[in-house]
Structure 1
Amino acid sequence: MATGNACECTKRFVFQVLDGASLLFVLVLQGSILNFYIISHYKSSVNPYFWFIADFVCLFVFAGTLTKAYRHLKFLKSSKAVKIRHARPDNSSPGLTGSNADSINGSQVSHASSLKRLGLPSDLIGPLPLSYAAWMFYSVILTAKVGIILKSEIPNTLNKADFFGPQMLKLTIGLSAVIYLLLAEGHSEYSPGPKLVRSTCSHSAVELVDTISFLSILLVKDTTTLEDFVVALTAINFLLPTLPLYALSISGFGAKPIPLILLLIRDLLHLFLLDIPYLVVRVYFWIAYQQDISMFLMKNVFGIVIIVRSVYPDIIKILRKWRRNRVVRGSSNVERLELQKVNSSQPQNSGLVNVAERVPETIPNSRS
């Protein structure tokens, strides 16, 4: 039995190392090729070389993210316990006695209850905030590079016959979906819910592939219509996969269910920032420029139908929960007011009782 557990741990460790090494390799490869396109266009300037510094920082951030995830999730897997962040303060702790402890406890309870009414946990950061922070940092750098390449008309200078032509440019940008999947896999081996991590992030990886396919519209020569709009949508949807990673982080990567409100926000953002505008722009370029229709157009249609059908029950659930919490909160306020009235009247009654008790004692004393 011990030998089997040792083999299982060794296999997981090997997969973890392979995921991390592959992620860093693809990250360096993508950054170097995109830098090559920028440097080749701005040959007389030294500024494009500073992008290597940003790539190095991004590499360091991803390495630290995977290391932190491995240590934390492995500890949870081995101990099979989840730490409670908001522990009850000890009465013997200095600075938490008397009214100070009551006020701190009251503020923590009110803050936690307000978040609970919204369907969110009391910890809004999560145990591994580097998971979504790393992707956000990377997506900002990637968006800046893609924006420079597109706004500087580099695609118009590329030749399809060259190795570093427009096809290589699209393939290089498409590596961002691979990086996202490898980042998710780096958190799934020791996570409490590996299937939840893979299913959530694989959906976002498909959306990234759709974004890159949408971006290829601007890689066609003499296509400048709606360029700023397409670039802005692409930038937003490079940042959008941050939300699923954030949702996984506050759920402990499968230790708890993902809050329903975050799933609803994700679906609504995909609907209004991805599927609907992508469908409209693709149909426009199909009609106006006779471009080849992309099969991702049907994916946008399916996405709109599925999200609309799934969002409505989620909204109903959230509204019912909000109304139920409102009723409970109203009843608790009434009980609190009644308790305050009882407490305010209690000292007066006790005073009368004390006077009544003292009268029989004072009369004999006066007689004597």
Structure 2
Amino acid sequence: MNAYHQASPLRAPDGRRPSGPSVRIGALAPLTRPGWAEAGRHLLAGLELAVRDVNDAGGIAGRPLELVVRDTAADPDRAAAAVDELARPGVAAVAGEYHSVVARTAAARADALGLPFLCSSAVLDGLTEQPTQWVARLAPPQSRGWRLYADFLLGEGHRRIAVATEPSVYWASGARVLRDRLAPYGGTVVELDMRALTPTEVCDELVDNRATALLLLVGHPEPAVPIAESVRRDQRLAGLMIGAPAGQPEFAEWAALLGEDGAGIPFLRYLPERLTPLGARVGTALRERLTAAPSFVAFEGYDTIAVLTDVLRSSGADRTRTAEYWPGVAVEGTRGPIRFSRVPGIGVWQWDGAPIHVADRDPAHPDRFRILRTG
């Protein structure tokens, strides 16, 4: 078995900065609305910090590493156009993206063009229609994370689940995972179509269906925040649990908009119970860069560059050799050792050991997180 490489090696022995033509990586992130811009900023912060560390360590065979950033704004067409542009000579690989539907489009274009793509944060199982050698992913598949979330619901005694949802392959896939996991235990999932309901009407539906939990499978901040506010203020629903498996409460904007109402809402978080020593150092640097606590998305960004650095140093930035090297990756990242494998039902090279836990903001201290379940 290969030894794991430290993701951020020491500065080159002679202390010289890298020089010559840069090795370029395309970076996709939602940086403007209607994309989840805060997640995009965290992702980009992690990518940029890692690039700085790589260049401080001598770059890629003495050449500087450079990001070519493109804002997807959660628009699949913009992502496809960006991949087409980045596929021109000079870009060794593409990385990033947070929104699953956008990442799926980017992965399809990268596959068609023979451009290596390392997906940082999107979780949709069906990232590609067919198995491909060109795409790898750091984030865990949605089915794995959302099954853990369903197990958490069962462990808390919830059997009558309502989901406030909008049309999206990502939300539909998540609802299906929940339904399949809960059904053998007598659990039911009622879908509330937010195209037809106001937040007040959602409360009425929750009462009528005798739901004990409501999951927000909708966009952020609209309509997730108004729904949460309406439910919290409805005395009929005082004992109802609100959940947000997609991770909305992870970000500072959620706490700023909802205050105490945003605490006690469990979500999926892709962090270990304890970061690696590298992760602890990176976390401090990310906090300084973001002037806020770094989310798991920022760590995903850092680990993305850590992996690509290992790949590019081995492949010489040749696209075909890069794609062939995914199964040879062995990197110690911020959240644990990273290796890729073929996972049944997943068409891309997948980090199967990505950490997951269910967490919430502590109602007694909303700026702190509690770990509720690991898996």
More strand by share: 2
Structure ID, larger Rg: 1
More helix by share: 1
TM-score band by shorter chain is under 0.3
